[in-house]
């Protein structure tokens, strides 16, 4: 009888030990990291995102010996969205930038200090690792009326679609890195639109007096650069150059935007935007208000900036 009991005990012990080893093996297998086969990775076809920012500044003075405006208020809105498509040898990059600014002071009254919307769309077919055969479309204008101020007088200088620039450009797109690209086209057509009849009658922005559209042919270069300078500082820049073959081709039109954004907290950021424009046909400056000049706009603000 004792021998049977001993045999039964040894059998139970062996079975328990076997189950324990099985459990340990299952636990070990469950704890292992599951690695996805790189061959199964599906590339992301669309990349979308953007930023929306709002800066507000307000000041007031009362019996202030140093002088100044009793009241001042400025509001600036800035948004930038992108949608990038990439599949096989085809790519399609789209960006929309919108900027609106408003300032009010007791001495100057209400004025806008920023007004712009810019749509850029670029298709590319890959020729090599860094070169694409492409087609670029750009539309740029503003929303509201703009005035040139001189002492107590103001003169209408711009309006919705006055001017507006529509550009269609076939060319080559060079992308040495994911953050930088240069589009080059020796054959580009650009339409300058002045929809406001009162401005068109003056022949502003290069249109013939009384006409609303001017067609130009020339060479075009567009360079774009986006980078994270640091973990909290980002930069986005664009430079467009256009030479009109028909009229003073050496006088190259320049359009440049720069935006620096410094992240202070999750939604609070400091921004600096610097825009440079030279248009040989924008003869609105100088002592007689009939000469072109380099236009410079610089805006610095602290406010809300949300990234998508």
- The 10s digit of each residue's pLDDT in 129-181 is 999 999 999 999 999 999 988 777 888 999 999 999 999 999 999 999 989 99
The whole-angstrom separation of Cα 88 and Cα 82 is 20
Total Cβ atoms within 10 A of residue 122: 23
The whole-angstrom separation of Cα 212 and Cα 157 is 15
Q: Pick one of 2.40.230, 1.10.3470, 2.60.40, 2.40.160 as the CATH number of 36-307.
A: 2.40.230
Q: Which residue has the higher pLDDT, 55 or 70?
A: 55
Condensed to tens digits (0 to 9), the pLDDT of residues 272-305 reads 999 999 998 887 777 766 778 899 999 888 899 8
Pairing of strands 253-263, 146-150: unpaired
Q: Which range has the worst mean pLDDT, 27-41, 189-203, 250-264? A: 27-41
The whole-angstrom separation of Cα 299 and Cα 115 is 12
In the chain, what are the domain boundaries?
36-307
- What's the whole-number mean pLDDT along residues 239-265? 94
pLDDT value, residue 13 = 47
| HEC sequence for 134-148 | EEEEEEEECCCCEEE
Assess whether pLDDT exceeds 70 at residue 49. yes
């Amino acid at each position: 009888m004792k021998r049977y009991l001993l045999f039964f005990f040894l059998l139970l012990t062996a079975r328990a030990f076997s189950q324990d080893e099985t459990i340990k093996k299952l636990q070990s297998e469950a704890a292992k990291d599951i690695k996805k086969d790189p061959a199964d990775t599906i590339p992301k076809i669309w990349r979308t995102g953007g930023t929306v920012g709002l800066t507000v500044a307000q000041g007031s003075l009362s019996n202030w010996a140093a002088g100044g405006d009793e009241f001042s208020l400025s509001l600036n809105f800035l948004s930038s969205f992108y949608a990038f498509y990439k599949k096989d040898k085809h790519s399609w990059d789209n960006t929309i930038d919108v900027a609106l600014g408003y300032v009010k002071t007791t001495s100057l009254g209400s004025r806008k200090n920023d007004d712009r919307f810019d749509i850029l769309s670029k298709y590319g077919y890959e020729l090599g690792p860094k070169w694409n055969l492409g087609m670029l479309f750009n539309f740029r204008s503003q929303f509201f009326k703009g005035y040139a101020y001189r002492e107590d007088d103001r003169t209408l200088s711009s309006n919705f679609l006055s001017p507006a620039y529509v550009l269609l450009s076939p060319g080559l797109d060079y992308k040495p890195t994911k953050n930088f690209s240069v589009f080059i086209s020796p054959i580009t057509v650009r339409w300058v639109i002045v929809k406001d009849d009162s401005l068109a009658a003056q022949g502003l922005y290069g249109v013939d007096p009384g006409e609303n559209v001017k067609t130009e042919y020339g060479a075009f270069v567009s360079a774009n650069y986006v980078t994270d300078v640091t973990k909290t500082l980002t930069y986005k820049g664009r430079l467009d150059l256009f030479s009109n073959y028909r009229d003073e081709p050496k006088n190259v039109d320049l359009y440049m935007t720069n935006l620096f954004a410094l992240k202070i907290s999750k939604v609070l950021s400091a921004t600096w935007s610097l825009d440079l424009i030279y248009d040989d046909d924008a003869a609105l400056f100088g002592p007689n208000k009939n000469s072109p000049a380099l236009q410079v706009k610089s805006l610095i603000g602290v406010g809300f900036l949300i990234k998508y």
